Structure 1
């Protein structure tokens, strides 16, 4: 019996990401999630107090991975090593979270009132990653290219779901590195 209870949050997240992806975050109700999982609404609230908590459980691990990549990149010596670690680590984190990444890129309602903290977290991460990629003495042109390189790694991940991870990763990194060439 304990195995079923442990699996319920995973099933809830799976149904939620599917519904959020098709109906939008704001357009999906807790009742619809519960029905999709095959549990009562009361059971759903036992596992997650709110839809915002479900969203956090979906996006939090991705943002935690990206924060870890950023921290590890900051400890590297030399701009080339920082860039390599940041771009490769970000690509790996994003590719391993392809399903939930689409929520950040395709559904603006995730940044509504309940998801505002997540939105701030994404923006703060982007700003720090851009500074690291651009380098300590970067001017505005280098910072623009660094921002473009981050977008080159992140944006296509959810737009090309049929491209195998290894192939997509190679192309993402090739494009991002080309943007950073002086």
Structure 2
């Protein structure tokens, strides 16, 4: 195969890059394999060659973010102090929200992905462990609400066009600051 032909065929990485952009824009349910093929400049058959099902594309797109969450849970879970564990989880999630902006948009907003995660016992357990690290044992309703606000807030910068120009360092610092205020501030009530 000539080098020109190799450059024309984007392979798995090109398919995943196009799928990530399309999923972030249109959602998983709103994106077809044909749209992914068109965006990649290949045939639908070529997409099927690399990914026999749409679910396999979704799994591959989400894999880096899910692996990062596993790392966050491991790192934060190594802390014996619940506040230190929460702090480590906040920092890890802020890093990943910056590193994987488009994947976070897909992971946190799409009902099809939420269903996939819920139907996968390993992923469901992973998110349960993450929530436990953020809430601590026996959380109050207020704490659960604060964690929900923090996690849903991670989606904002990935979706909000007014945040698109915020550089990575400022975004990371802002997420950490917001997480600390929500999850580590002393309760006034």
How high is the TM-score relative to the length of structure 2?
A: 0.78
Q: What's the Cα RMSD here?
A: 2.6
Q: How does 1:53-68 map to 2 (within 5 A)?
A: 53-68=56-71
Deviation at 1:106, TM superposition (A): 4.0
**What number of residue pairs does the alignment pair up?**
177
Partner Cα separation in structure 2 for residue 136 and residue 83 of structure 1: 11
> Helix, strand or coil: the match of 2:30?
coil
1:170 and 1:22 map into 2 onto residues whose CA distance is 25
CA distance in 1, matches of 2:11, 2:42: 9
Distance in 1 separating the partners of 2:94 and 2:20: 21
Residues 64-83 of structure 1: pairs in structure 2 closer than 5 A: 64-83=67-86
- Cα deviation per residue 1:108-132 (whole Å; 9 max; x = unaligned)? 3444xxxx33345665444322222
Please tell me whether the aligned partners of residues 70 and 126 of structure 2 are also in contact (alpha carbons under 8 angstroms): yes
Q: Deviations over 1:45-92 (max 9, x none)?
A: 111111111111111220111122112211112123211211101111
Gaps of 5+ in 2: none
1:140 aligns to 2:141 (yes or no): yes
Q: State which of 163, 176, 180 in structure 1 corresponds to 2:179.
A: 176
Instruction: Indicate the SS of the match to 1:149.
Output: helix
Is the partner of 1:12 in helix, strand or coil? helix
Alignment of 1:35-54 (within 5 A): 35-54=38-57
Residue among 29, 42, 47 paired with 2:32: 29
Q: Alignment partner of 1:163: what SS?
A: coil
Match of 1:161 among 164, 179, 187: 164
Structure 1 length-normalised TM: 0.81
| Aligned-residue offset at 1:175 | 1.2
